[in-house]
Chains A and B, each alone.
Chain A
Amino acid sequence: MSILEVKNIKYKYNKFDESSKYALDDISFSIDEKDFVAIIGESGSGKSTLISHLNGLYKAYSGEILFKGVNIYSNDFNLTDLRFKCGIVFQYPEYQLFSETVIDDVAFGAMKKGLSKDEAYKKSVEVLKLLGIEHLKDEAPFNLSGGEKRKVAFAGVFVMDPDILIFDEPDAGLDPVSKDQFYELIKSLNNKFGTTIIYITHNLDDVIEYANKVIVLNEGKIVKTGKPFEILTDKEVMTKANLEMPYAVSIYYEVLKKGYEIDKTKLKFDELLNSLINLK
């Protein structure tokens, strides 16, 4: 069943300037429960604007967004409630951290959701444990390293028990090891709790590895949506969106060029390696 359905939404930043372009132009797609969705596209293609619509931070000019079948723009819809169910982790944790200690900061969202102070702190400790940063709970968030701050910011959203987790470039500025750990972590949340994941990224190699659905944006329009292998091996789509092919796809095409047969649907690292070993 689709948890989120976006229907023909349009949005532009400067409403006074009629000649300005739409930041989002007639966007439609739907996302099922437990999906792991990657939104890709070059800078300025409207990715961040799009995710800000998904929890009602921005209101589209036209079109509608259905959360579990209910239009979020209808009058009696509770937007605050939606924000708890549809948590967004923004790109810069600095914009979110404000408390004196990590635990206070994480508990903020839980208390806003209506938990009592004790419950909220108990829950926050659980979340910090889950993310492996329980030892930081009494530190000041401003003294942490970039990767740690990001985890704290993530904990601050995850503590609200969202059905959908949305990330704006979660891997930007992370070292390769932390990046892999991070993706493994959200993959496990996706498996264990069935949390739907939507994330913006420029790292197409990881899209093959983790996502089960890809949305390609270019100049505020959707170029194509589909499974990672469908999108990333589609040369026309990739050129149109100004994206470079990930390694796995390049290897796939090189192998084809050499005259071998190879399974297009199996491009994850292990799968591709297996296919390559079994070539002859």
Chain B
Amino acid sequence: MIKDITFGQYYKKDSVIHSLDPRVKLVATLVFLVSLFISTNIFAYILATVFLVSAIVLCKVPFSFIISGLKSLLILLLISIVFNIFLTPGEKVFVLGPISVTREGIIIAAKMAIRLIYLVIGSSILTLTTTPSKLTDGLEKGLGFLNIFKVPVAEIALMMSIALRFIPILIEEVDKIMKAQTSRGADFDKGNLVEKAKSLVPLLVPLFVSAFRRANDLAYAMESRCYSSSVHRTKLRPLTYKRIDYITYLILLVFIVLIFITRYIKIDMIVL
């Protein structure tokens, strides 16, 4: 049921991508996302595709597992495609009563779809190959310079790691609650929107109750072990860059420069 959500999960494998420094992966994801939004023509999209495909191949996570995270995005994707296709003014390709499909609409919809899909796949690769603790370590160290501006980086990182850590736990709980309520004849997909929303009550109440209880327990546990974020903490495995990390930074640099260059290539054959 709900366990099919793969977005944001960690997938254990032994690969180059898994072994990269989390800071590198964070920067890489950021660079990739930026590159998607500054891409203006087909060459940029080809470059981005090559980049993404090589990341997918290198991370050794089964492709079917990666794209299964897209399922939850389907509705959003459809909405944006439909709106873009029908509501963009421009050269009419075909007319169906009051609705008309324009050439510009199709192009924008296609761009939108590619961007959204790539965006989700790209960020899934980050979370699939990086454990939440490494991710927050990376953030903490990568954003460490903000300490000068009195930004409480360590606290933010702690909150993030707790939030991330609780996602799989809550998913598992939703699954258990759904099982318990389904066994009592509850049906979560039947009926119209109002009925569906109503049917969520037996799911949400126990979920909130248990989430608050967990948060409370965690706070007490931290309190009783004298947790304080003001103390400077050392790490069991401090993050240090290795050769492969520098190489990756170099590849990223080349990639983003290439993307910029594509902006100056003028082509007429496809207006992408």
Contact = CB atoms under 8 A, between A and B. Distances in A.
Nearest to A93: B180
B181 A83 contact: no
B245 interface: no
A108 B202 contact: yes
B207 to A, nearest CB: 9
A57 B179 contact: yes
B202 A83 contact: no
A90 interface: yes
B205 A108 contact: no
A157 B183 contact: yes
Contacts of B181: 96
B176 A80 contact: no
A162 B2 CA distance: 27
Given A55-B183, A83-B183, A90 B206 contact: no
Interface of A: 13, 16, 52, 55, 57, 80, 83-84, 87-88, 90, 92, 94-98, 108-109, 112-113, 142, 156-157, 160
22 contacts: A13-B3, A16-B62, A16-B65, A16-B68, A52-B179, A57-B179, A57-B183, A80-B185, A83-B183, A87-B184, A90-B176, A90-B179, A95-B179, A96-B181, A96-B184, A97-B206, A98-B201, A112-B184, A112-B186, A112-B187, A157-B184, A160-B185
A82 B205 CA distance: 25
Contacts of A83: 182-185
Contacts of A84: 185
B216 to A, nearest CB: 13
Interface in B135-175: 173
B209 interface: yes
B64 interface: yes
Contacts, number: 64
A108 B64 CA distance: 39
Contacts of A55: 183
Contact of B206 (A98, A156, A157): A98
B175 to A, nearest CB: 10
Interface residues of B, number: 24
Contacts of B210: 94-95
Given A108-B202, A112-B186, A113-B185, A96 B62 contact: no
Nearest to B64: A16
Interface string B45-84: 0000000000000000010110010000000000000000
A109 B185 CA distance: 6
Q: Which 4 A-B pairs have the closest CB atoms?
A: A112-B185, A98-B205, A109-B184, A96-B180
A259 B229 CA distance: 67
A98 B202 contact: yes
Nearest to A114: B185
B69 to A, nearest CB: 12
Contact of B184 (A16, A52, A94, A156): A156
Interface-central residue, A52, A96, A157, by most chain B CB under 10 Å: A96
B120 interface: no
B210 to A, nearest CB: 6
B116 interface: no
Nearest to B65: A16
Given A88-B180, A96-B180, 10 more contacts: A13-B3, A80-B185, A83-B182, A83-B184, A90-B176, A95-B173, A95-B206, A96-B184, A98-B205, A157-B184
Contacts of A112: 184-187
A142 B177 CA distance: 15
Interface-central residue, A90, A95, A96, A160, by most chain B CB under 10 Å: A95
A220 to B, nearest CB: 18
B183 A87 contact: yes
A82 to B, nearest CB: 10
Interface in B199-214: 201-202, 205-206, 209-210, 213
B104 to A, nearest CB: 40
Given A95-B210, A98-B205, A108-B202, A90 B173 contact: no
Contacts of B187: 80, 112
Nearest to B173: A95
Contact of A90 (B65, B183, B201, B205): B183
Contacts of B185: 80, 83-84, 109, 112-113, 160
A37 B183 CA distance: 20
Contacts of B64: 16
A79 to B, nearest CB: 9
Contacts of B179: 52, 57, 88, 90, 95
